[in-house]
Structure 1
Amino acid sequence: MSRKFQRRTLFIKHSKFGGWKSFVLSLIGILILIYAAIFLWPVVPSASNIPEGSAYRIKIAPQSGLSSISKQLAAQGISSNVLTFQIAARALFLSSKLKPGTYQLPTRASLGNILLQIARGDRVRESIAIIPGMTIWQLRALIDNHPALIHQTKGMSSKELLQALGLFYPGDEGLFYPDTYIFDPDDSDISIYRRASQAMQKQLNAVWGQKDEALPLKTPYELLILGSIVEKETGRSSDRSLVAAVFVNRLNLNMPLQTDPTVIYGIGPQFDGNLRKADLRKDSPYNTYMRKGLPPTPIAMPSKESLQAVINPEKSDAIYFVARGDGSSHFSKTLKEHESAVDQFQRKRNAPAKSNSQ
């Protein structure tokens, strides 16, 4: 082979290699530019265009595909056209990982950062807390006034709310399990009621399954009623099962429950904090001084612990208790012992008695 031919062959090989290398380098350069644009170019309005200079919120509807998401965001002010959004999502391998919800984006956020945030599901979440011992009117006011909920139940009567939830009870008191409920902004308030009522039904059924046949309760609803009374009467959690024992013992003895919280509940939201003797003498379905047995409905939202205390009360012969003034109670088996405890813990304190004397 001549030297001239060898030089020509080497030149061709070198040219082919150089062309391929140039192509790869060009492709890498293009990809760098694309990814730089995705992560460096802001597509969210600047702080000056956002009310009060706050972050920018977008919302993605459930069960949205990539095309739908890109259109939703474009309609909400993301300054990236639909095609660019879809290309960027595919370039980052996120097209099938984008999650619905409400997202709070930093001002001047890039398309890449937005896509990563949506793929992580790092969205805005709201919460509402149902506290043990809360009454239905307190709960409804709490939900009615929550700014992040869509208020479909506001103004509904108790009966209408129960119908909307598919529940069949004498009232809506006590039916909603105390817990913190997390939700997306603009969820319906009825979804909170539904989740809380389902949680209470689940808890009630689980606890009822532990019931001793000797317990003087006929239905899970009666368990809910007595659980709510124990909830309102317990100042210290360690006393819960003893408080439950007193009321179970009274039911077994056919004694009136004689519990102030039921009378207070019967007075309603207008109760001024001062329970008078006249209130105890005024007959109502909730006056357990004048009527034996359980009141017609629960008087609050009981906790799991109060339900369990009713099912598993302390083994005790006590039928009276009185508040000591430190959150705990003194329990007595006889009226004489109880009167002595009342003298010790209430009458000698020279203060208006919060009659937790049962």
Structure 2
Amino acid sequence: MTEYGRGQGSEPWHPEDPLYGDGGWGGQQAHQGQQSPHGGQPQHYPEQPQQQYGDWGTGDQSGYGQPQQPYPYDQQYAAQAHGHQQYPGPQDPGHQQGQGYHHQQQYDTGGWATGPHQQVSYPGDPQDPYGQQAGAYDAGRQDYYGTSDAYPPPEPPGRRGVEPELAAPEPETDWDPGPDQGEHAFFAGGDDDDDEPEGRRGRDDKRGRGGGKPKKRRNGMACLLVAVILGGGLAGVSYFGYQFYQDRFGDDPDFAGGGNGQQVSVEIPKGADGYAIGRALKSAGVVKSVDAFVSAQADNPEGRSIQDGVYTLQKQMSAASAVELMLSPESRDNLIIAEGRRNADIYRLIDKRLDVEAGTTAAVAKKDYKKLGLPAWAQNHAQVKDPLEGFLYPSSYGVSEGQKPADVLKQMVERATATYDKLGVEKKAESLGLEDPWQLVTVASLVQAEGTSHDDFRKMAEVVYNRMKPGNPQTNGMLEFDSTYNYIKNQSKIDLSLSELRNYDNPYNTYFHKGLPPGPIDNPGEDAIKGALKPTDDGWYYFISLDGKTSKFTRTNAEHQKLVDQFNASRNN
């Protein structure tokens, strides 16, 4: 027999269950002497008028329209288990006359009447009109219902882990749903053992699943745990919801005012965008958020012109105030290297900025120049006065007290090398008739030293290349640049006598030696380098500046001499 789930169907019954003697079924006493279909035990039936069915084989329904006696619960399910269809209510005569069974065969033995559409009669029993009915649908199959075989004896103890006296169905008194009847024990107060009747609680404990395992009960700690989890989840949802709103609709966190008076130096690296600048300022405590700075920079028409370098700012500044101050020269604390500066001047500037003894940076450059990042093509050249000349690139550098000279020099060499690579110095040297990129940097340094404006640089580069030609009819391979003499003398003079220039023997003196000097004589800027890479082709050999601001170029010495005479006349020489 199928065991239905607890709280939904009947369980195996045992005759010794005390519930059948104390009014367990709905609080009613079983009628004595009334036969039950459950193995002969007393069964309570509500006293209702009994309907007597007539002879169905003749179509006579004497009880039609009278109150019906409901079938017992277990008899109904038992009938369904053997394939019988129960008809607890009155039958429609129209349906009774073969509409539901007109395709079924007629049998001659026991179950079916021989006439068409005849039904077998169901004789009544004064004690139990349903307990001993003959099988109307299948006379050849034995009917176990109403006998002792219908409900086999209970299984012995230990077979399934359930004691016999505990296997009987629990009678229902009044409606009191438990965990299996639709109400969860947590909300039914299942953790309060004192509120449950002792007898019922004992039965529940014994009926626990697993043959004796007590029901799980929730106590106050479980309630607290659930409350904490729900509270934490609500807090998390609230936090992320707030962050979502702030990220999309809220104002960026920002300080108010122009700072708290505490100064701080912030170094902005080259090529830093607004977010990189904002991160540096936030890290130093200048602004409250990166987004606030980026927004303030975008709102300022000149915000994009903020350059790299060292800035002196204040802590806790509004983003707009920080942007405005960084655009002011007052905040800049950079070391500015101008185009055409010689290394000797740059060393002195670094010493002063780092507040170290004079000559410290020059000594480091002389000793460790090979460790500062020079490319291979810029090393091991003979008769070079300073191997780093031409590689301390003109720009703005964030140099402040506390840094090491070597670190500052590395920044400058790195920037020079990156610029030369970007412009293609190494690739284009040979196409210009030069031995190597080193010579190209040297030409750029001469263009930078002799040119008076950026417009002069391409013409000045052509003068250099034309004079370097050994067979040229004008200079016969001599450059004769005053700037090379001034470099070796570490000076910047204009009025130099020809006797002085032509009688000083030094590799850098282009009045004494043909061709280029051993190396660069200054640090050329980008425009001078571009001029050296792309000279004009107009036949220029000579140049002179009459006002110190612009240069005039000529192709012959005679044309050049006329300009010299004009210059001397203007100076009353």
In 2: Cα distance, 1:251 partner to 1:242 partner? 14
Which amino acid in 1 is paired with 2:391?
L
Query: Which stretches in structure 1 are left out of the alignment for 5+ residues?
Result: 1-38, 45-54, 61-72, 74-91, 95-100, 107-112, 353-358
SS in structure 2 opposite 1:195? helix
Residues 365 and 406 of structure 2 are in contact (CA less than 8 Å); yes or no, is this contact kept in structure 1?
no
2:380 corresponds to 1:173: no
* Deviation readout 1:293-326 (Å, 9 max, x if unpaired): 1101111110111111011001111111111225
2:349 corresponds to 1:142: yes
Residues 373 and 410 of structure 2 are in contact (CA less than 8 Å); yes or no, is this contact kept in structure 1?
no
In 1: Cα distance, 2:265 partner to 2:544 partner? 54
Aligned to 1:197: 413
Residues 468 and 515 of structure 2 are in contact (CA less than 8 Å); yes or no, is this contact kept in structure 1?
yes
Aligned to 1:308: 530
CA deviation after TM superposition for structure 1 residue 215, in Å: 1.1
| Aligned counterpart in structure 2 of residue 154 of structure 1, from 346, 349, 361 | 361
> Structure 2 vs 1, CA of residues 338 and 189 (structure 1 numbering), >3 Å: closer, same or farther?
same
Residues 458 and 535 of structure 2 are in contact (CA less than 8 Å); yes or no, is this contact kept in structure 1?
yes
> Structure 2 vs 1, CA of residues 193 and 336 (structure 1 numbering), >3 Å: closer, same or farther?
same
2:570 corresponds to 1:349: yes
Aligned to 1:258: 480
SS in structure 1 opposite 2:544? strand
2:524 corresponds to 1:318: no
CA deviation after TM superposition for structure 1 residue 279, in Å: 3.0
**Mapping for residues 1-358 of structure 1, pairs under 5 Å:** 55-56=261-262, 105=314, 113=316, 126-147=333-354, 153-154=360-361, 156=363, 158-167=365-374, 168-169=379-380, 170=384, 171-183=387-399, 186-205=402-421, 206-208=423-425, 211=428, 213-253=430-470, 255-269=477-491, 274-280=495-501, 281-344=503-566, 346-351=567-572
> Structure 2 vs 1, CA of residues 104 and 203 (structure 1 numbering), >3 Å: closer, same or farther?
closer
CA deviation after TM superposition for structure 1 residue 277, in Å: 3.5
Output the TM-score relative to the length of structure 1: 0.61
Aligned to 1:25: none
Q: RMSD of aligned C-alpha atoms?
A: 4.1
CA deviation after TM superposition for structure 1 residue 161, in Å: 3.6
In 2: Cα distance, 1:130 partner to 1:104 partner? 22
> Structure 2 vs 1, CA of residues 282 and 58 (structure 1 numbering), >3 Å: closer, same or farther?
closer
In 2: Cα distance, 1:240 partner to 1:93 partner? 46
Which amino acid in 2 is paired with 1:130?
I
Q: Indicate the structure (1 or 2) with the bigger Cα radius of gyration.
A: 2
In 1: Cα distance, 2:462 partner to 2:388 partner? 26
* Deviation readout 1:136-162 (Å, 9 max, x if unpaired): 110000111014789995351543140
In 2: Cα distance, 1:229 partner to 1:307 partner? 10
CA deviation after TM superposition for structure 1 residue 283, in Å: 1.3
How many percent identity over aligned positions? 25
In 2: Cα distance, 1:125 partner to 1:233 partner? 31
Q: Which has the higher contact order (CA 8 A, sep 6+)?
A: 1
In 1: Cα distance, 2:264 partner to 2:538 partner? 59
> Structure 2 vs 1, CA of residues 105 and 322 (structure 1 numbering), >3 Å: closer, same or farther?
closer
In 1: Cα distance, 2:332 partner to 2:546 partner? 42
In 1: Cα distance, 2:420 partner to 2:548 partner? 31
Residues 344 and 362 of structure 2 are in contact (CA less than 8 Å); yes or no, is this contact kept in structure 1?
no
Residues 318 and 332 of structure 1 are in contact (CA less than 8 Å); yes or no, is this contact kept in structure 2?
yes
In 2: Cα distance, 1:332 partner to 1:296 partner? 27
CA deviation after TM superposition for structure 1 residue 189, in Å: 3.0
Which amino acid in 1 is paired with 2:367?
E
Residues 149 and 189 of structure 1 are in contact (CA less than 8 Å); yes or no, is this contact kept in structure 2?
no
SS in structure 2 opposite 1:321? strand
Which amino acid in 1 is paired with 2:434?
L
Residues 354 and 400 of structure 2 are in contact (CA less than 8 Å); yes or no, is this contact kept in structure 1?
no
> Structure 2 vs 1, CA of residues 104 and 340 (structure 1 numbering), >3 Å: closer, same or farther?
closer
Greater Cα shift, 144-153 or 167-176? 144-153
In 1: Cα distance, 2:450 partner to 2:289 partner? 58
Query: Which stretches in structure 2 are left out of the alignment for 5+ residues?
Result: 1-254, 267-283, 291-309, 472-476
Residues 150 and 188 of structure 1 are in contact (CA less than 8 Å); yes or no, is this contact kept in structure 2?
no
Which amino acid in 2 is paired with 1:132?
E
SS in structure 2 opposite 1:178? coil
In 2: Cα distance, 1:332 partner to 1:93 partner? 60
CA deviation after TM superposition for structure 1 residue 196, in Å: 1.2
CA deviation after TM superposition for structure 1 residue 253, in Å: 4.0
Residues 430 and 436 of structure 2 are in contact (CA less than 8 Å); yes or no, is this contact kept in structure 1?
no
Residues 125 and 183 of structure 1 are in contact (CA less than 8 Å); yes or no, is this contact kept in structure 2?
no
Residues 391 and 416 of structure 2 are in contact (CA less than 8 Å); yes or no, is this contact kept in structure 1?
yes
Which amino acid in 2 is paired with 1:268?
N
Query: How many aligned positions are there?
Result: 261
Residues 342 and 522 of structure 2 are in contact (CA less than 8 Å); yes or no, is this contact kept in structure 1?
yes
Aligned to 2:99: none
> Structure 2 vs 1, CA of residues 256 and 102 (structure 1 numbering), >3 Å: closer, same or farther?
closer
Residues 259 and 288 of structure 1 are in contact (CA less than 8 Å); yes or no, is this contact kept in structure 2?
yes
Output the TM-score relative to the length of structure 2: 0.39
> Structure 2 vs 1, CA of residues 58 and 211 (structure 1 numbering), >3 Å: closer, same or farther?
closer
> Structure 2 vs 1, CA of residues 146 and 340 (structure 1 numbering), >3 Å: closer, same or farther?
same
